[in-house]
Structure 1
Amino acid sequence: MFRFQELTVWQRALEIGIELDDLSDQLESRKRFRQAEQLRSAAMSISNNIAEGSGSSSKKDFAHFVNIAKRSAFETANMLIFFERKKLLSPSIGQPLLIQLESLCRMMESFRKSLLP
């Protein structure tokens, strides 16, 4: 088992990423291929950066990757807000995802701080 698989923050990021991947599939079915791919990429980047950072040789480097993951979560949140405003996403779907992303961001920030002296 990889180290990152034991991290609650990675597990949560993966769960949200899977939900966002499903949303990307829905966007593709509406012929929104570019938006779907960008959402999929940003969403996957969250858990990918946590996983990549866990292989770092220093806690400082790992914290840097967690910060990148947090920035990807912000990018993802921005896209969800954009999709809601363009009526590509209903608030009943978008708002719960935004709440989950906000919670994940807090979790990532706490974890990042725990890695630093």
Structure 2
Amino acid sequence: MKFKFEKLIVWQKAMELGEEVNGISSKFPKKEMFNLSSQLLRAVDSVALNISEGAILQSNPEQKKFMGYAIRSLAEVVTCLHKARRRDYITEEEFERFYQKSFDLMNMMIAFRNGIK
């Protein structure tokens, strides 16, 4: 038995991204523990959390609203990745990999939101 949202590919991809980002954030300097690292982790977790919260709602406008929150959280993740790259906390290759995963997930989330009637 599964919750409805667990079957959503978009939720599964958001969960995967969250765990991968969690792994790279541990490489950030200690001085970023309560700053960029914390912000990045909260934002990436918020993506999957908002997808799941919206998926259990019966109201389509409410579902769209929570997908909007998830989309905005992912935009925040991308900005944090840019900051991490500029500060040399992650390599260019790591940045490109996470950027592409974020780009693909963003497109999936927008398509999912647009499909909600």
TM-score with structure 2 length normalisation?
0.93
Q: Which residue of 2 aligns with 1:79?
A: 80
What stretches of structure 1 move > 4 A for 4+ residues in a row? none
CA distance in 2, matches of 1:26, 1:86: 12
How far has the Cα of 1:21 moved from its partner?
Answer: 0.9
Farther-moved stretch of structure 1 (59-68 vs 5-14) = 59-68
Residue type at the aligned position of 1:41: R
CA distance in 2, matches of 1:23, 1:45: 17
CA-to-aligned-CA distance 1:23-42 (integer Å, 9 cap, x gap): 12222xx2120221111100
Q: Secondary structure at the match of 2:108?
A: helix
CA contact (8 A) 2:27 2:89 kept: no
Q: Which residue of 2 aligns with 1:20?
A: 21
Q: Which residue of 1 aligns with 2:57?
A: 56
Residue type at the aligned position of 1:37: S
Aligned residues: 114
Residue type at the aligned position of 1:17: G
Residue type at the aligned position of 1:19: E
TM-score with structure 1 length normalisation?
0.93
Q: Secondary structure at the match of 1:87?
A: coil
CA distance in 2, matches of 1:44, 1:106: 18
CA distance in 2, matches of 1:5, 1:91: 32
Larger helix percent = 1
Identity of aligned residues (%): 29
Farther-moved stretch of structure 1 (83-92 vs 44-53) = 83-92
Q: Which residue of 2 aligns with 1:47?
A: 48
